[in-house]
Amino acid sequence: MASEDDRSRALGRPLDELHPNERIKAGSDYLRGTIAEGLADRISGSISESDNQLTKFHGIYQQDDRELRSERRRQKLEPAYQFMVRVRLPGGVCTPEQWLTLDELARTRANGSLRLTTRQTFQFHGVLKHDLKGTIRGLHEALLDTLAACGDDNRGVMCSVNPHLSSLHAAVHPLAKRVSDHLLPRTGAYHEIWLDRERAIDTREEEEPLYGRTYLPRKFKIGFALPPANDIDVYSQDLGFIGIEEHGALAGFDVCVGGGMGRTDNEPATYPRLADVIGFCRPDRVVQLAETVVTIQRDYGDRVDRKRARMKYTIDDRGLDWFRAELERRLGWSLEPARDYAFEHNGDRYGWVEGEDGRWHCTLFIENGRVRDREDCQLMTGLREIARVHEGEFRVTGNQNLIIAGVKRGQRRRIEKLMAGYGLEDPAHHSAVRRSAMACVALPTCGLAMAESERYLPDLLTRIEGIMEQAGIPEQPIVIRMTGCPNGCARPYLAEIGFSGRAPGKYNMYLGGGFHGQRLNRPYLDNVGEETILETLGPMIHRYARERREGEPFGDFVIRAGYVAEVKAGREFNDPA
């Protein structure tokens, strides 16, 4: 464990003592690398390994269709390389015009579907190398970009979408956008590579005043929550802002730091961690505070071991008090004491609601965030037709769902008719379990996945629904989340029942997460298949149906019933149940 002033694994050490990625960043000429040359090469659909690290900073992630690997090898074809392109969409808000652009790019440049993500943005999958520039240009024309959507930098900033509180959302969302814009890399690489801009005269010295030439040790995530909804899972963020409403207006934010989901199997020094609330800050100081937190992580984060390079470890290793002191020293002012707030849930509330400004908002359930046409539901076509007439905006939720927001009273009928016409489902058709569930993309495209997620969770849910039906609690919401690997994109460690993939058909199962994202769950089963999962969950759910207290969520029950011990801090996560 590092002492407070130990910088032996941090910025400033010789590059050859640090992780190889630090050398790639340092040698990249501010994220340029040889990306442009790689794009011009027609012989391979891939780009070089070091450029792969760099394109992430541009929101672009090389993948390949893993199911075709061996078939294509026999066919003397290279792997089916393709790219995931993630849009930067602070707070998840886009206009109908932007939706139409995204929809068209998905159909002409990608695999024909749009993926809503757990961080409130859009991903394209299956974009071929020769379509990358066209995709980025298309986004640019719609005033969208992909800069820093992945990579060792501040990622897309999240913001609660709570449709009831229109005035608060109107106050918070611009802040989320300001923070996102403020923390963007300043390099000209993005515009030069993707938009064919000439490179400005060499100003290398000032090219990245905040990040420097090696950027952050690892990704960095910021989110703004608006109680009572914790739909962005604020405790999972490196830096969270919890909106405090006083007298009907935004007073400021309770600030929390050090959240993060990612962990590595069989490495107990890695664990998910919830952010700690450290105080309160006024809205006009949010940007300064965010920048300052980023600089601390930039200077102290672990640049040797990428598995322990998130800010949660910097804080745990040096202590929260050290962190607060360093922050206040750098800020030149002190945080006020934290104020009171209360979260009630981290899921979405579906259907139509009227906001305080008299406009209507409809939250649609999008299973696993996948927007595509199916036989029974022309979701993609329907949303396109809605976008053609919609005058408000679209909001992507942190649960991969979609809100058609800001609909004038007189327009609601028209949109409802379109929804019905294209089979956009009434979320009530789905069980509460399904409506609360989340899965990451995983196979076949994600290079990290060790097991199915998006394609499998719906089937597993069907079986769990059967158990709940038998137990007589079909409408009880239980938060179930699944990821194909331990990195935690769908925030499985906050679920009441969580799964992370270990091998095809095999998962770790976690139990006991807090219903509104306030408590981590704990590993319960290691590397097991569906049969064991169902055999284990069956009796538990039946007992829960019999023994639960009034309003007691499943995650609380499994702790009270003694199945798992409560996890009070991230570093206890790997302790025996």
Partner 1 sequence: MNPTPLTDQASPLDRQQAERLSRLVEALSPGQASWVSGYLAGLAAAGQPAAPAAAGPDAGARITILYGSETGNAEAIAERARVRAVERGLQARAVDMADYKPRELRQERLVMIVTATHGEGEPPDPAEGFHEFVHGRKAPKLEGTRFAVLALGDSSYEHFCRTGREFDQRLAALGAERIHERVDCDVDFEEGAERWIERALDAFARHAEPAPSNVVAFTGSGERQGTVHDRKNPFHAEVLENLVLNGRGSDKETRHIELSLEGSGLTFEPGDVLCMVAQNRPETVAELIGTLGLSGEETVAGPRGEVTLAEALTHDYEITTLTPPFLEAWAQASGAEALQALTGEGRRREMLEFAHGRHVVDVVGQFPVTGLTAQQFVDMLRRLQPREYSIASSHNANPDEVHLTVAAVRYHSHGRDRHGVASTWLADSVSEGDTVPVYVQRNKHFRLPSDPSTPVIMIGPGTGVAPFRAFVEERECRGAGGRNWLFFGDRRFRTDFLYQTEWQRWLRDGVLDRLDVAFSRDGRDKVYVQDRMRENAAELYAWLQDGAHVYVCGDAERMAPDVHRALIEIVAGEGGLGEEQATDYVKGLQRDRRYQRDVY
Let me know if 362 is a catalytic residue. no
Instruction: For residue 23, indicate whether it is catalytic.
Output: no
Q: What is the DSSP string of 529-556?
A: -HHHHHHHHHHHHHHHHHHPPTT--HHH
Interface residue with partner 1 among 13, 23, 72, 178 (CB under 8 A) is 72
Cβ-based nearer residue to partner 1, 73 or 413 = 73
Beta-carbon contacts of 180 under 8 Å, excluding residues fewer than 6 positions away, are 88, 90, 154, 156, 157, 222
Indicate which single residue of 8, 37, 70, 73 sits in contact with partner 1 (rule: CB under 8 A).
73
Which residue among the candidates 32, 109, 219, 303 is catalytic per the annotation? 219
Radius of gyration of the chain (CA): 23
Does position 304 bind partner 1 by CB under 8 A? Answer: no
Structure tokens at 44: 């391979």
State which H helix or E strand residue 129 sits in: helix 129-141
Per DSSP, the residues of 24-71 read HHHTTTTTTTTHHHHHH--S-SS--HHHHHHHGGGTEEEEE-GGGHHH
- Asked whether 153 and 164 are in contact (CB, 8 A), the reply is no
Q: Does 204 bind partner 1 (CB under 8 A)?
A: no
Q: Single out the catalytic residue among 384, 434, 446, 519.
A: 446
> Is residue 329 at the binding interface for partner 1, with CB under 8 A as the rule?
no
Q: How far is the CB of 77 from partner 1 (least distance, A)?
A: 5
Interface with partner 1 includes 78 (CB under 8 A)? yes
Distances (CA, A) of 335 to 56, 60, 572: 34, 37, 28
Annotation marks residue 86 as catalytic: yes
Say whether residue 44 binds partner 1 (CB under 8 A).
yes
Output the smallest distance, CB 254 to partner 1, in A.
Answer: 50
Residue 80 touching partner 1 (CB under 8 A): yes
Which residue among 2, 11, 68, 353 contacts partner 1 (CB under 8 A)? 68
Question: Nearest distance from residue 49's CB to partner 1, in Å?
Answer: 14
Cα of first residue to Cα of last residue in the chain, in angstroms, is: 24
User: Of 33, 38, 45, 163, which lies in the binding site for partner 1, with binding defined by CB under 8 A?
Assistant: 45
Name which position in 75, 201, 246, 249 contacts partner 1 (CB under 8 A).
Answer: 75
User: How far is 10 from 346, CA to CA, in rounded Å?
Assistant: 35
Out of 128, 184, 448, 525, the only residue in the binding site for partner 1 (CB under 8 A) is 128
Q: Name the residue among 337, 335, 306 with its Cα closest to residue 487.
A: 306
| 462 forms part of the interface with partner 1 (CB under 8 A) | no
Known catalytic membership, residue 281: no
Question: Which among 155, 434, 435, 522 is annotated as catalytic?
Answer: 155
Instruction: Tell me whether residue 408 is one of the annotated catalytic residues.
Output: no
Largest CA distance in the chain: 72
Residue 42 CB, nearest distance to partner 1 (Å)? 5
How many CB atoms within 10 Å of residue 102? 26
Residues labelled as active-site residues: 86, 155, 219, 221, 440, 446, 485, 489
By CB under 8 A, name the binding residues for partner 1: 42-45, 68, 71-78, 80, 128, 130
